[in-house]
Structure 1
């Protein structure tokens, strides 16, 4: 059986690691921790709180890397390749760090706060809310600097995002009206506005979460 690895947040973070559930606490963050993400196949933990994303090895109290940004982080996404660290922010922006050297980029101008981010399995595509459109950024090559995203419009308010497993670029999005949309999210050229491949009507209640079980089964809450 693979080791059990969990983390939960508060003023600091306690990590429960291994079958014995041995506990390790990081030093306290400056403010409330808003999101967590594992890196390097679970060997490093990224912790988002006001002012920075800090990275800890599984057994270290102090961070081994710090990525500063003055603002409130609402969502955290790490590329599966480990190359990019991205935060969605209260100031209606996405801030990006290149993990190896801390190089930075901010994508601003969203009409609303960015509270949902998701990388696909390849690490080449990042989906985000922050507008009536879902924006999909291309992180292949040198990353999204100087490029424009693809736009996916179906919902007045986006409430959930989930990439279908695999490298095909298929995305599911959910809205406050209960609609679920399925997309070929990486089709077309930058600045393209894409239409959903299929829309699934809900009951009128907002979609709270989406979860794929392999490529053929999508659960909707």
Structure 2
């Protein structure tokens, strides 16, 4: 890696894949150039969505956390679909580790699945079809929230927010951001600053928000 840095005159490293995060964290003390990862006393927690949620809840920020359930087997998921989540038309499943879209899937009825095909929506599955798959790793499931989504880039220095930039995610497809509009949203600036200062000590952090029922 040092040879590549020298040969290509690399001045900074920006990890772009979830698996690179652990690699660069381990390689931190060997790099001769800066790399764009946040500094945090809770770095291991940040690698897992459930651990991050649990930490935020412990810090009194439960009102910003969506209601979710974890499962490993599809017997557990089926029980959740038939009980705790029985009134939901669409559910979202994600892996507990990795970035936001890892393992992303929308589960719905067979009727709505057919509509999704007609509308050319991808990553949408009928409940029964998804339950027949062989996945056995830890995942989380929650109701599919409204379409109003926000992304906030926060820069923190010495555990204090320097700047917070909210964007409305105007182009989102299957959990991936395609476009967005920067806006001044005082509530999001305050919320994102509080969360970021709870999670990291220095550098950048990106947070995603969804406002339920618009």
The interval holding the TM-score normalised by the smaller chain is under 0.3
- With normalisation by structure 1, the TM-score equals 0.24
Larger strand proportion of the pair: 1
Normalised to the residue count of structure 2, the TM-score between the two structures is: 0.25
Q: Greater helix percent: which structure?
A: 2
| Greater Rg over alpha carbons, structure | 2
The structure whose RCO (Cα within 8 Å, separation 6+) is larger is 2
